[in-house]
Amino acid sequence: MNRLSRAGWLDRDRIVAWSGILLAVEVLFLGFVVLWQHGVFGPLGPTTTDFVSFYAAGRLALAGTPALAYDRAAHAAAEIAVTVPGIDYQFFFYPPVYLLWCVPLALLPYLAAFVLFQATTAAAWLLVMRRILREPGWTWCVPVLAYPAVFWTLGLGQNAFLTAALLGGVTLLLDARPGIAGVLLGLLCYKPHLALLAPLALAAGGRWRTIGAAAATVAAVVGLSVALFGLDPWRAWLATLAGSQAVYESGRIDLAGFVTPYGAARVLGAGAGVAQGLQGTASVLTALVVGWVWRRDPGPAERSAALAAGILLSVPLALVYDLLLLTVAIGWLVRAGRATGFLAWEKLAFAFCFMVPLLSRHFGQATHVPLGPLAPAALLALSVVRTARGASPPVRSGRRR
């Protein structure tokens, strides 16, 4: 059991080799799906990606009607105008600050905008991951790119690369450049539910300068959105937001795709009310655990992993592509393990977390057993164990704060 728990066989060469095989399979599969969707292997019904929702919202804003991004009929018509009739409608529940990202993309043709958005945000995420891992050469890219949430993000046209790049940048710059870290955190306000835990963690760690910079950034981008688009989109968004819960509870979005405690409860058969209660309990407990880690301030690896993992446990809505945030947690813990030694079972926990995005949705559909929340829970537990075993909290200096 001791040999198994140490997983000495799970070394760098094997990780790169096995990840390379998985990456090749994923690339071939993604290419097959793209060709199939374009009729190469026979007819397929009209399909699209989530990106069409962003692009259509940008087109409506460019036309001088940004509030119509929250009008389902107008937004659906805009989606069809840039794709084909008969596609499934892709909702737009983002706050109007996200239009600041969507409008520049809508200046380009649809396919060019899709490629540019995914390529630039993926490059930013890879740059952040390289800084976190501090790995020489290029082979570190193989397991990072093979992480299955990468292909959910690409296949669905989602913005998880951008979210992970911003959160990872916050963790990298927090000590040396707390103001810039706050700016990056403030830019996450286009997905406000994924940023709510961060101020609590920062407050527990006494990072007031970062909190102030984040608040100022949010105020600036909100003000910019009002200046460019007016108040009508904000009124429309608030009205749409009030009805978004019914959409997520209706089954319109596959419950097996959720990676949160709420989603786990629903997959196990709980009703919406019970699932919300369980999620509330999980959110409070997660906030307390993450706050404890940040209060102890063990170092960037433990607190960064706790925050990245805790985010997915503290919110009811996070889907399989949002597991890309866990690359930030895994990257920091791998870096810590190389520096101080890996804990018992830690490598195997990483291997499990690595495979969860590949298995969780289809496994949940087939067995009604949710795997998604187990990955962030495992990484949060590892950060807690590392924190508890660490030295006394370091003396806080004014310069760091």
For the entire predicted model, the pTM comes to: 0.92
Give the model's pLDDT for residue 327: 97
Give the model's pLDDT for residue 243: 75
| pLDDT exceeds cutoff 60 at 81 | yes
pLDDT tens for each residue of 196-208: 999 999 999 999 9
| pLDDT exceeds cutoff 60 at 16 | yes
Cα–Cα distance between 40 and 140 in angstroms, integer? 34
pLDDT tens for each residue of 212-239: 999 999 999 999 999 999 999 999 999 9
Give the model's pLDDT for residue 253: 77
| pLDDT exceeds cutoff 60 at 400 | no
- Mean pLDDT, the chain, as a whole number? 91
* 45 band by pLDDT with thresholds 50, 70 and 90: low
**Tokens read off for 304:** 């960064």
| pLDDT exceeds cutoff 60 at 21 | yes
pLDDT tens for each residue of 318-351: 999 999 999 999 999 999 999 999 999 999 999 9
pLDDT tens for each residue of 239-292: 988 777 777 776 677 888 899 999 999 999 998 899 999 999 999 999 999 999
Would you kindly state where each structural domain of the chain is located, as residue ranges? 2-248+255-389
| pLDDT exceeds cutoff 60 at 396 | no
Give the model's pLDDT for residue 42: 60
Secondary structure of the chain in HEC code, one letter for each residue: CHHHHHCCCCCHHHHHHHHHHHHHHHHHHHHHHHHHHCCCCCCCCCCCCCHHHHHHHHHHHHCCCHHHHHCHHHHHHHHHHHCCCCCCCCCCCCCHHHHHHHHHHHCCCHHHHHHHHHHHHHHHHHHHHHHHHCCCCCCCHHHHHHCCHHHHHHHHCCCHHHHHHHHHHHHHHCCCCHHHHHHHHHHHHHCHHHCCHHHHHHHHCCCHHHHHHHHHHHHHHHHHHHHHHCCHHHHHHHHHHHHHHHHHHCCCCCHHHECCHHHHHHHCCCCHHHHHHHHHHHHHHHHHHHHHHHHHCCCHHHHHHHHHHHHHHHCCCCEHHHHHHHHHHHHHHHHHHHHHCCCCCHHHHHHHHHHHHHHHHHHHHHHCCCCCCHHHHHHHHHHHHHHHHCCCCCCCCCCCC
